[in-house]
Amino acid sequence: MALYGNVILSIPSPEIDRVFDYEIPFEYLNIAEIGMRVKVPFGVKNKLIEGYIIDLSESTSVDSEKIKYISQFPDKVPVFSAEMINTAKWMKERYMTTLSQCLKAMLPAGINLKNEETFVKVSTKQCAGCKLSPKQKSVLDFVFKNDKVKPSVIRKSLGISASPIETLVKKGFLELVNADTEHFFINYNIFEYEKPPLLNDEQLKACKSMLDKNEKRPFLLFGITGSGKTEVYLKIIEEILKEGKQAIVLVPEISLTPLTVKRFVSRFGKKVVVYHSKMSDGERYEAWKKASDGRASIMIGPRSAVFAPFKNLGAIIIDEEHESSYRSEFTPKYSAREVAEKRCDYYGAKLILGSATPSIESMKEATEGKYVLLKMKKRAGNGRLPMTEIVDMRTELQNGNRSVFSLKLQEEIKNALENKRQVMLFLNRRGYSTFVSCRKCGYVMTCSNCSVSYKYHSGSNILMCHYCGKKIPVPHVCPNCGSKYIKFFGTGTQKVEDEARRLFPNARILRMDMDTTKKKGSIEKILSQFGSENADILVGTQMIAKGHDFKNVSLVGIMAADISLNSGDYRGSENTFQLITQASGRAGRSDDRGKVIIQTYQSENPVIKLAARQDYESFYVQESAVRKAMGYPPYGNIFTFLFTGKDERSVIENICLFSDIVKEKHISNITVLGPSQAYISKIKNEYRWRLILKGSDENTLRTLTKSAVSIYKNSKKEKGITANLFINSFSSI
């Protein structure tokens, strides 16, 4: 009797997103399994395509003369468990995409690499005064700079033969290492086992609740910075491992620092693998494989680690759960929290969301009893919450100070430097330089329809509402106070650094932002330089705001708290509150109390005031009222359709067609906004337009979307137009 594999092809096109039956050749009958990768002939030319067996059957509706055979099985074991296939099917519906793309998202990019690749790294043998040819020197330099590289890369980059590399290996200056035996991101040997501290009452209470077998709901661990959340995660994982289960720990990419890794590795050793975008495809594949074959039981990583191929998952922990990076902006546009919830449901695993500033969404779930709310209000180790002071930059301007540093901040920096303490200057770059405000009175140009700030378009010199598309000219005088100091906001980290150098010429200053951290290892370098007190001031973006525990930092300056407040996104207030709280958490990590200076043009703004007091609960009450009133998530839904293409006329035609289809359906309780030009109206010569649907019921919006999309697809076939749907995410559109 024949056996057939029901195969999903790894081709993202929706037209072929269905199962194709292939017969399993006789010699593979005993190895073929659900979840395996295959290579199959496809189309008239029988091109070999990768595919995934999502089911097996003993019969098929395909004619026996037409049935094709599976050509290859690249792996010995399945790459997907039944649970993962199940989750992928759910994702396809939830995120309105193809099964092919959902399955692909679960696999590491490096899966097709041969895993026995060798790399070259610098050995411990020093080469001071030894004789080397210029070519050998350049190889050594190259490997030194790049940490570890494939021989082929060295040869290509330097345009040399293999012989200088071979000579250096023979002489012992370079070492060949196997990717399979060496995991480059973690050097397990340098971490010593660390005995856990005795948990305090708040921590014990949280753990007890989480380990309750009868509690199936997700947990929201709401604990101030430094309250010991990570210790709670470690304890839960310890218990999970005892039961022979595995755990996933999701952290935001930028807080996945060596320090974070160290805490987990010191406790659990080689059971830990890391999944990080700075790792090579091969390294990531290796981490994935260890999780898949049971060598590892804990995977730490950003968003995509939620797909760790564990077979008996005991817990998924999402640290800093409020971070927007847990939502994918690329297809499939999944939310790691939702996927985690789905996976945990399947296994009866614990889902733990941790934050000092929970997202409004999660807190709403907790208030309504859908999540279990656990609070930790005290700092666990040493240190107290810092003193915060708000400085009004309008007053500074009135007093003739045009610097980005208020006099108060200058004085505090001087103080800190004199006392040999360190300073962190934090510039919130979210929504950077895109809103227009008055330096004299703090007035921000805001859309009357949507109560979000206008975005400044420098090309056409106009202000536009990100939501409804309303446009107005840039005013010459402030509509509120008549001053001429109304302009768009523009301060960068570079400018802050330059000015800091001018004001404090003797201070050693480091800067950490996108520009200074492009190179692999540069983040670690800056952090360790600052951590070992070889610098006095660290200037940076949100990258420096979280996680890092620098004992000697006594002062944190938040340069322009307003920027994210006026990002033109409904999450502006939430982001600001989170960033101020996190940045403040960097001060006062040791015994004496730290200080935080918050510079703002809107000192009376309730969000700034509440953030300075670290009063999350009042902030939540206030912000959820605003969201409710405006119909913003989680009290309403925003579906954004983005149409892009090279020919603007055709983009407009298509989006208008789609908009007409939607409007014709006359569904009550749904507001249609636009079509209008997207905030970034053109990227790489592709014009961008969008249409927004707002409504309180998500399912109504989904049903409407599905039927409108199918009508649209049948009524017009324009080439070169891409349409994308973003659900409740806004910032990048």
Q: Which two tokens stand for residue 263?
A: 């805490």
Name the region of 196 (left: φ>0; alpha: ψ -120 to 50; beta: rest). beta
Sign of CA dihedral 608, 404, 424, 591: negative
Using the contact rule CB under 6 A, the part of the chain among 182-190, 223-231, 444-452, 698-706 near ligand ADP is 223-231
Q: Does 197 bind ligand ADP (CB under 6 A)?
A: yes
Buried residues in 186-202 as b, exposed as e (16+ CB within 10 A): beeeebeeeeeeebbeb
Selection from ligand ADP, Zn ion, none that 450 binds (CB < 5 to 8 A by kind) is Zn ion
Preceding peptide of 332 cis, ω within 30°: yes
Nearer to ligand ADP, 227 or 659 (CB): 227
The one among 51, 151, 226, 309 contacting ligand ADP by CB under 6 A: 226
Smallest distance, Å, CB 268 to ligand ADP?
15
Contact with ligand ADP (CB under 6 A) among 158, 199, 667, 709: 199
Q: Which long-range contacts (CB under 8 A, 24 or more apart) does 449-455 make?
A: 450/630, 451/630, 452/568, 452/569, 452/570, 452/572, 453/566, 453/567, 453/568, 453/572, 454/568, 455/568, 455/679
Q: Is 230 in the site for ligand ADP (CB under 6 A)?
A: yes
- Residue 322 backbone dihedrals phi, psi, to 5 degrees: -75, -10
How many C-beta neighbours within 10 Å does residue 519 have?
A: 11
Rounded CA gap, 658 and 678, in Å?
16
> CB of 96: closest distance to ligand ADP in angstroms?
36
Query: Which does residue 468 touch among Zn ion, ligand ADP, none (CB within 5 to 8 A, set by kind)?
Result: Zn ion
Nearer to ligand ADP, 97 or 266 (CB): 266
Residue 481 binding partner per list ligand ADP, Zn ion, none, with a CB distance cut-off of 5 to 8 Å that depends on partner kind: Zn ion
Q: Give whichever of 584 and 728 is closer to Zn ion, judged by the CB atom.
A: 728
Closest CB to ligand ADP among residues 602, 614? 614
Q: Which does residue 229 touch among Zn ion, ligand ADP, none (CB within 5 to 8 A, set by kind)?
A: ligand ADP
Nearer to ligand ADP, 225 or 659 (CB): 225
Give the one entry of ligand ADP, Zn ion, none that residue 230 binds, where binding means its C-beta sits below a cut-off of 5 to 8 angstroms depending on kind.
ligand ADP
Six token digits for residue 469? 């598309």
- The interface with ligand ADP within residues 472-511 (CB under 6 A) comprises none
* Residue 442, binding choice from Zn ion, ligand ADP, none, Cβ under 5 to 8 Å by partner class: none
- 269 contributes a contact to ligand ADP by CB under 6 A: no
Of 397, 389, 396, the residue nearest 415 (C-alpha): 389
- The interface partner of residue 333, options being Zn ion, ligand ADP, none and the CB cut-off 5 to 8 Å by kind, is none
Name, in order, each residue with C-beta under 8 angstroms of 381's C-beta and a sequence gap of 6 or more.
Answer: 197, 226, 228
CB closer to Zn ion, 432 vs 467: 467
Q: Closest approach of Cβ 409 to ligand ADP, in Å?
A: 26
Which is nearer to ligand ADP, 335 or 582 (by Cβ)?
582
The structure tokens listed for 520 are 């692999």
Q: Which is nearer to ligand ADP, 174 or 353 (CB)?
A: 353
Q: Are strands 537-540 and 509-512 parallel, antiparallel or unpaired?
A: parallel
Query: Which residues of this chain interact with Zn ion, rule CB under 5 A?
Result: 438, 440-441, 443, 447, 449-450, 465, 467-468, 470, 478, 480-481, 483
Using CB under 6 A as the binding rule, whether residue 540 contacts ligand ADP is answered as: no
List, in sequence order, every residue forming a beta bridge with 376; answer none if it has no partner.
223
Phi, psi of 337 (to 5 degrees): -65, -45
The backbone torsions φ and ψ at residue 471, rounded to the nearest 5 degrees and listed phi first, read -120, 140
Cα(368)–Cα(222) distance, integer angstroms: 15
Q: Which of 231, 286, 497, 574 binds ligand ADP (CB under 6 A)?
A: 231
Residue 229 as a binder of ligand ADP (CB under 6 A): the answer is: yes
The reply to whether 380 sits near ligand ADP by the rule CB under 6 A is: yes
Q: What is the 3-state secondary structure (H, E, C) of 177-192?
A: EECCCCCCCCCHHHCC
Nearest CB to ligand ADP, comparing residues 206 and 279: 206
Concatenated DSSP letters of 598-619: EEES-TT-HHHHHHHHT-HHHH
The answer to whether the CB of 306 falls within 8 A of the CB of 126 is no
Answer yes or no whether residue 194 interacts with ligand ADP by CB under 6 A: no
- Is residue 225 near ligand ADP by the rule CB under 6 A? yes
Q: Applying CB under 6 A, which residues contact ligand ADP?
A: 197-200, 203, 223, 225-231, 380-381, 549
